Amino acid sequence: AFEPVSLATGESVGITKFLMMQPVTPEIEKSIRSAVKWFKENKIEGYSYKVKEVNGKRVRVLEETKGSVIWARFYDLHTNKPIFGDRDGSVKLNYSDISEERRSGYSWYIDFADKLIEKDYPKWLTSNKLSD
């Protein structure tokens, strides 16, 4: 399996948004604030992850892009560093170390946590009369 045991950012964004739709309790408020704090602390600035045409093939490319923010799809549970799983079940610490098939066949980075931080979270704070 190429989805290692990890902090999974895509699912975490979805869970955080789900919690924002629930009545606010101290536990829910703490969970949302903690999630947003984690996303802010673990963003990867200056890179984008795009699908491009290369030699007639669609490939996913991680490239430096000034002003962009992304998050790795998976983070190590203990170090909060990005990790990548290959088809053989091995876990890699660098995107460039996974097989070409996995680099092109899976979304290893996301950018939709940015909307959570920049739009959804402030809106949630305001609608619940909370301060940051």
pLDDT in tens, 54-111: 888 888 889 999 999 999 999 999 999 999 999 888 999 999 999 888 888 889 999 9
Query: If 0-12 CB within 10 Å is exposed, 13-18 middle and 19+ buried, where does residue 47 land?
Result: middle
Q: What percent of the chain has pLDDT over 70?
A: 98
pLDDT at 2: 66
pLDDT at 54: 84
pLDDT in tens, 76-86: 999 999 999 99
75 contacts: CB under 8 Å, gap ≥ 6: 6, 7, 9, 42, 81, 82, 83
Buried b (16+ CB within 10 A) or exposed e, 98-113: beeebbeebebbbbeb
pLDDT at 55: 87
